[in-house]
Amino acid sequence: MKRIIHSLRPAVTAVALASGMLAGSALAADEIVLKNGSRILGTVTGVRDGVVTVDTEFAGTLKIQQDQVASLTASEPIVLKLADGTVVEEPALRVEDETLLLASAGAPAATYPLQELAVSNPQPWELGMGYRWTGLASLALEMQRGNTDTDELDYSLESVWRSLQDRYTVRVNGENDEANEVKNAQNWTALGKYDRFLEGPLYWGVNASAEHDKFADLDLRYYVGPYIGRQFHERPLLTLSAEVGGVYVNEDYIVAEDQDYLGMNWSVDASSNYISDVSKLYLKHTGIWNLDQLEDVILDLTLGLSFPLMFNIEGAAEILLEYDSGLPPEVDKMDQTYRFRVGYSW
C-alpha cells in the first residue's frame, strides 16, 4: 500500500487555524458545480464516505454525493487520502471535469478520477497512527406496580477498537426480569473478537463467547474458533459484513446432559442510515450448526432502529429472536424479546 506523508502536522494545524480565523469571510470562497449544472457557493468542510459536506449561507450545511460533483474549487490547505492509501497535502482542493487535480510535488500523479478521493483531513488512525475507539452502553428498564409487580432490566455494552490493520470487539448483554418477586428471566452473553485485515475487503479473525441462561436450562455455553470475513460495503448508506468459520462448543446444562462438539459458526452485521442521516437501521445475526448432530442449530437475530435523543444519548427499538433446537423438550426453543433501550455512544 502506497503512502506519502510529509509535514502532516503543520498542514492539519494550518487547516484548523484557517477555518477558525476565516470562518466569517470564507463562506463564499468555495464553489461546487454539479453534473446537472447547479452551482453552490459556500465552505467545503470535508469529504468522507462518498459525501462532500459544504456550509452555505442560504441553506446551512449541505451533503452532496461525491459522484454528482463535476467541478470543485476550495481555497483552504487540505490533507487528502486516496483510495490506494496515498496521502498528500495540498494548498487547495481542485476538481475539474470529475478529475481531482494535485499540485503537490510529492504526489505520484497530477490527476486522479474524483472517485479515488477517499477522505479529506483524515483522522490519525486513518493515517496508521493508533486506534479509533467507539462504543455503546445502554439500559432498558421497566418497573410496574399494581395488580402485578414487574421489574425488568436489560443491559448491553459494545466497544470497538479499529486501526488500519486490525480490530478488537467486545460485546456484553444480559437480562434480569421478575414478576411478583419471582424471577422469570436471568441470562447474559459475552463475546470477544479479533479481526486482522488483508488486502481488499477480506479479513480473518478469531472469536470466543460465553453464555448463561437459567430459564433455558443453560448453566454455561462457551465456544471459540477462527473465521474468515468479508466487508462487502462500508458506507453510512449501507455497511455490510459477513463471517464464516469453525468453532469448538462446550455446553453445560443444569438438568439436561452436557455435551461438546465441533460446529460451523457464521455471522452477518448490517446497518444503514437510509431513513435519515441521524437514525440507523441495523441487523445482527449469528448462528452455530452442530456438525455432530446436524439437526441442532442455534440462531440469534437482532433487528433495531436507533435515533439520537440528546448529546451522545440515543434511543432504540429492538426485536430479539433466539432459537436453540438442542434445548430439552420442556423448554421453549424460541425466545422473543421486544424492547426500547436508551444508551450512550462514543
Domain residue extents for the chain:
8-127, 132-345
Task: Name residues whose C-beta falls within 8 Å of residue 299's C-beta, 6 or more positions apart in sequence.
Answer: 285, 286, 287, 321, 322, 323, 324
* pLDDT for residue 300: 95
Spans of the chain below 50 pLDDT: 1-28
Burial string for 65-85 (b: 16+ CB within 10 Å, else e) reads ebeebbbbbbbbbbbbbbeee
Question: For residues 306 and 314, what is the distance between their CA atoms, to the nearest angstrom?
Answer: 7
Report, at the CATH architecture level, how domain 132-345 is classified.
Answer: Beta Barrel (2.40)
* pLDDT for residue 147: 67
